[in-house]
């Protein structure tokens, strides 16, 4: 594991930071971008406070409709809800009372709405992290210019920098997503090769996944090698939204997983032979980083976001729609346990070196310091 050297405090001791946070119900306690806040608290103890968006929380009767009415004219993304509005109201109240030097909206698409309107009134420095790809913003966000009201923006993939620069020239920072490399780790020692007669491929998630390609890959692979087992980690509500997955129910080699614990998730990675990951688009991805940290070779698509987070030494990236190429690579890797082990060790090392949360926290603290010191000046 990469150990960070002791460094001087990046922020002054009296600096106060307010985070708008969310922990999604389908993510475990060791997953998600919210881990950044915990890592920052460890790397540099300081005065941090949080406001949580809690869409599963029961509200006072009638309050949801009141919040929906009050937020009806707010220029927001499709992921913004009355719960988002309530979160921003709570954050605004904390800003008024506590006067933090900086507010970090950790999920821009879910949390950013009214706060920019009050920057001069409180006042406050406001940054956010945008997680969705530029194509999503360009196609689905009705008000992308809301970004212009921030003091800085963090993006987890390099391609998105160019897109957001049009709204925030010289104030867009590429800082990768991270992974808990202490929790997600290989189960086997580096000299041990899996001995299972039935190799396992694991797949995870639904958002921006190429599910039609996944089905074709599994069917073609099983036609060539019926001994392969596939573990599909897909939430049940997402299965209902994607009835095409029904095609896979005929195969006994396909196992479905949902609502599992952190330890069960880690075990699925640890017992797999490789990580199969057909995608439509991506920036950062928890599942990819967790699979890498658990020492799995990667078979996925050649997208900019994937190139940001992988290396050819352990990841085989194919053009979208190249089902035969991906299946050929899967079969080759499953026939070569020593090569799988070699690639898996390289994947683990890459995750430790580049994506441990301690390193990501330090990079984020540097952005905080620049914004607070007004080193970043808006260009008109």
Identical fold for domains 16-178+357-372 and 200-355, yes or no, is yes
**198 pLDDT more than 80:** no
Give the least confident one: 1-10, 140-149, 228-237, 359-368. Answer: 1-10
User: From start to end of 15-166, where are the E strands?
Assistant: 16-21, 47-52, 102-105, 125-129, 152-155
Neighbours of 72 (CB within 10 A): 9
Of residues 9 and 288, the one with the higher pLDDT is 288
pLDDT at 64: 65
pLDDT at 122: 81
* DSSP 8-state secondary structure symbol assigned to residue 60: P
- Tens digits of per-residue pLDDT, 68-104? 656 677 778 899 988 898 899 999 999 999 899 999 9
CB 289 within 8 A of CB 356: no
Could you give the CA distance from residue 156 to residue 217 in angstroms, rounded to a whole number?
A: 28
Confidence of residue 129 (pLDDT cuts 50, 70, 90): very high
Give the least confident one: 67-76, 273-282, 305-314, 351-360. Answer: 67-76
Mean pLDDT on 249-272: 96
Which residue is associated with the tokens 């017992």? Answer: 271
Of residues 153 and 190, the one with the higher pLDDT is 153
Confidence of residue 3 (pLDDT cuts 50, 70, 90): very low
Provide the residue ranges of all domains of the chain, joining segments of one domain with +: 16-178+357-372, 200-355
pLDDT at 272: 97
Confidence of residue 63 (pLDDT cuts 50, 70, 90): low
Measured at the CA of 38, the angle between CA 35 and CA 39, to 5 degrees, comes to 85
Confidence of residue 4 (pLDDT cuts 50, 70, 90): very low
CATH for 200-355 is 3.40.50.2000
Could you give the CA distance from residue 363 to residue 19 in angstroms, rounded to a whole number?
A: 16
- Tens digits of per-residue pLDDT, 320-341? 999 999 999 999 999 999 999 9
CATH superfamily, domain 16-178+357-372, is Glycogen Phosphorylase B; (3.40.50.2000)
Confidence of residue 224 (pLDDT cuts 50, 70, 90): very high
Mean pLDDT on 17-44: 92
Question: What average pLDDT does the chain have?
Answer: 90
Of residues 11 and 102, the one with the higher pLDDT is 102
What sections of 192-303 are H helices per DSSP?
A: 211-224, 236-241, 262-270, 286-293
Of residues 7 and 99, the one with the higher pLDDT is 99
**What is the pTM for the complete model shown?**
0.90
pLDDT at 117: 87
Confidence of residue 5 (pLDDT cuts 50, 70, 90): very low
Mean pLDDT on 299-323: 97
Could you give the CA distance from residue 108 to residue 146 in angstroms, rounded to a whole number?
A: 10
* Beta-carbon-side half-sphere exposure of residue 233 (alpha carbons within 13 Å): 27
């Amino acid at each position: 594991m990469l150990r960070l050297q002791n460094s001087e405090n990046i922020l002054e001791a009296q600096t106060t930071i307010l985070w708008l946070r969310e922990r999604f119900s389908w993510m475990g306690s060791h997953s998600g971008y919210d881990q950044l806040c915990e890592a920052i608290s460890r790397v540099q103890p300081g005065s941090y406070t949080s406001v949580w968006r809690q869409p599963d929380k029961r509200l006072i009767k009638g309050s949801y409709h009141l919040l929906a009415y009050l937020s009806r004219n707010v220029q927001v993304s499709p992921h913004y809800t009355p719960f988002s509005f309530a979160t921003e109201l709570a954050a605004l109240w904390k800003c008024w009372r506590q006067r933090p030097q900086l507010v970090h909206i950790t999920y821009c698409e879910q949390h950013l709405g009214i706060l920019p309107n009050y920057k001069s009134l409180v006042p406050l420095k406001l940054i956010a992290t945008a997680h969705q790809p530029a194509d999503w913003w360009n196609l689905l966000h009705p008000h992308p210019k809301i970004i212009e009201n921030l003091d800085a923006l963090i993006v987890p993939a390099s391609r998105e920098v160019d897109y957001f620069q049009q709204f925030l020239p010289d104030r867009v920072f590429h800082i990768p997503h991270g992974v808990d490399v202490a929790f997600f780790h290989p189960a086997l020692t580096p000299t041990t090769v899996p001995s299972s007669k039935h190799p396992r491929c694991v797949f995870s998630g639904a958002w921006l996944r190429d599910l039609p390609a996944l089905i074709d890959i599994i069917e073609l692979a099983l036609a060539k090698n019926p001994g392969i087992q596939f573990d599909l980690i897909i939430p049940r509500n997402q299965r209902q939204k994607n009835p095409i997955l029904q095609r896979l129910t005929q195969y006994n080699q396909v196992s479905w997983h949902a609502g599992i614990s952190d330890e069960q998730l880690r075990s699925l990675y640890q017992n797999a032979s490789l990580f199969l990951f057909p995608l439509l688009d991506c920036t950062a991805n928890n599942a990819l980083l967790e699979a890498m940290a658990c020492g799995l070779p990667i078979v996925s698509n050649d997208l900019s976001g994937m190139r940001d987070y992988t290396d050819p030494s352990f990841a085989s990236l194919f053009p979208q729609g190249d089902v035969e190429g991906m299946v050929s690579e899967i079969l080759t890797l499953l026939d070569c346990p020593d090569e799988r082990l070699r690639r898996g060790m390289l994947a683990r090392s890459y995750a430790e070196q580049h994506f441990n949360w301690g390193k990501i926290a330090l990079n984020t603290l540097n952005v905080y310091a620049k914004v607070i010191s007004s080193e970043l000046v808006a260009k008109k």
